[in-house]
């Protein structure tokens, strides 16, 4: 980082300010949108500084890295979310470490989370990841498969579905993300309308460093921001 680059503390405060401002502009209360500081590859000392500056939720993508860092930062009163691709054989760790898993995109994974959560005496909060853009390379279920998956997840006693997550293709122009965010919000509304017992659609995890203001305009409740806080990842 060059000497003139803003400090982490300034960046955290700036992003929190922008979130509150954007929520206000959208006629939403500032605390209806929460910052998930995506701290993959970021060392514990810098995570600690971000937490002291006001970030309360952190997103990690790799289980082994997260285990080490969360253990090292166990004194921090923050919440950890899993935002990476979760492999079935890592679920037991994910259930121990994370308050919310953003990336559930198969019944098989949900069933394994349910199994491990039962062993841990926990009800695990999850989001279903939806591939709204239909882009081949992206994780997530197709929108038309969401209802069937959600109905099956509703039967799992140790999993609680809190909402949806999406990661649209990278668009240089943030406004190009808008249709994808709007589609996720519309899908959440339609699933909510089914009134499936045990299913809540309170959370919409969408928007990253370059497009989180657009995501907030479209109803995001969790924005996942990495680079804008911690700088480019190496
Ligand atoms: C890395 C990552 C982010 C953060 O991306 P930035 O562009 O650095 O803000 C958000 N969501 C997911 C799922 C990620 O893997």
- Tell me how far apart the alpha carbons of residues 18 and 1 are, in angstroms, rounded to a whole number: 23
Residue 116 is predicted with a pLDDT of: 98
Question: How many separate domains does the chain show?
Answer: 1
227 lines ligand 1 (CB under 6 A): yes
Contacts of 167 (CB under 8 A, 6+ apart): 129, 138, 139, 140, 206, 208
pLDDT at 108 over 80: yes
Could you read off the pLDDT of 172-231 as tens digits, one per residue? 899 999 999 999 999 999 999 999 998 989 999 999 999 999 999 999 999 999 999 999
Could you read off the pLDDT of 88-99 as tens digits, one per residue? 999 999 999 999
Sole residue written with tokens 């954007």:
22
Could you read off the pLDDT of 133-173 as tens digits, one per residue? 888 777 899 999 999 999 999 999 999 999 999 999 887 89
pLDDT at 3 over 60: no
Give the number of the atom of ligand 1 that is nearest the alpha carbon of residue 36: 10
79 lines ligand 1 (CB under 6 A): no
Sole residue written with tokens 């700036």:
14
Give the number of the atom of ligand 1 that is nearest the alpha carbon of residue 40: 1
Instruction: Give the residue from 143, 139, 126, 135 showing the smallest Cα distance to 85.
Output: 139
- Tell me how far apart the alpha carbons of residues 191 and 164 are, in angstroms, rounded to a whole number: 10
Could you read off the pLDDT of 111-125 as tens digits, one per residue? 999 999 999 999 999
Residue 84 is predicted with a pLDDT of: 98
Residue 4 is predicted with a pLDDT of: 62
Report DSSP letters for 77-134, one per residue: --EEEE-SPPPGGGHHHHHHH-SEEEEE--HHHHHHHHHHHHHTT--EEEEEEB-TT-
- Tell me how far apart the alpha carbons of residues 217 and 49 are, in angstroms, rounded to a whole number: 29
Could you read off the pLDDT of 18-76 as tens digits, one per residue? 999 999 999 999 999 999 999 999 999 999 999 999 999 999 999 999 999 999 999 99
33: domain CATH number?
3.20.20.10
Q: How far is the CA of 147 from the centre of ligand 1 (A)?
A: 26
**Parent domain of 132:** 5-230
The residue count for the chain: 234
Q: What is the CA radius of gyration of the chain?
A: 17
């Amino acid at each position: 980082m060059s000497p003139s680059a803003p400090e982490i503390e300034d960046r955290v405060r700036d992003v929190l300010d922008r979130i509150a401002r954007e929520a206000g502009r959208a006629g939403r209360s500032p605390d209806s949108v929460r910052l998930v500081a995506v701290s993959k590859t970021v060392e514990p000392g810098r995570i600690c500084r971000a937490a002291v500056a006001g970030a309360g939720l952190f997103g990690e993508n790799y289980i082994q890295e997260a285990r080490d860092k969360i253990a090292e930062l166990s004194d921090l009163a923050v919440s950890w979310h899993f935002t990476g691709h979760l492999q079935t054989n890592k679920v037991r760790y994910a259930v121990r470490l994370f308050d919310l898993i953003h990336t559930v995109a198969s019944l098989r994974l949900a069933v394994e989370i349910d199994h491990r959560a039962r062993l841990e005496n926990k009800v695990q909060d999850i989001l279903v990841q939806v591939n709204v853009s239909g882009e081949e390379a992206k994780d997530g279920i197709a929108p038309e498969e969401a209802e069937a998956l959600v109905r099956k997840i509703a039967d799992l006693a140790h999993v609680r579905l809190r909402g949806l997550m999406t990661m649209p293709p990278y668009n240089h122009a943030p406004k190009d993300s808008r249709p994808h965010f709007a589609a996720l919000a519309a899908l959440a509304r339609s699933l909510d309308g089914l009134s499936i017992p045990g299913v809540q659609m309170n959370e919409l995890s969408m928007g990253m460093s370059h497009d989180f203001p657009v995501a907030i305009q479209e109803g995001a409740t969790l924005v996942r921001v990495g680079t804008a806080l911690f700088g480019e990842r190496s």
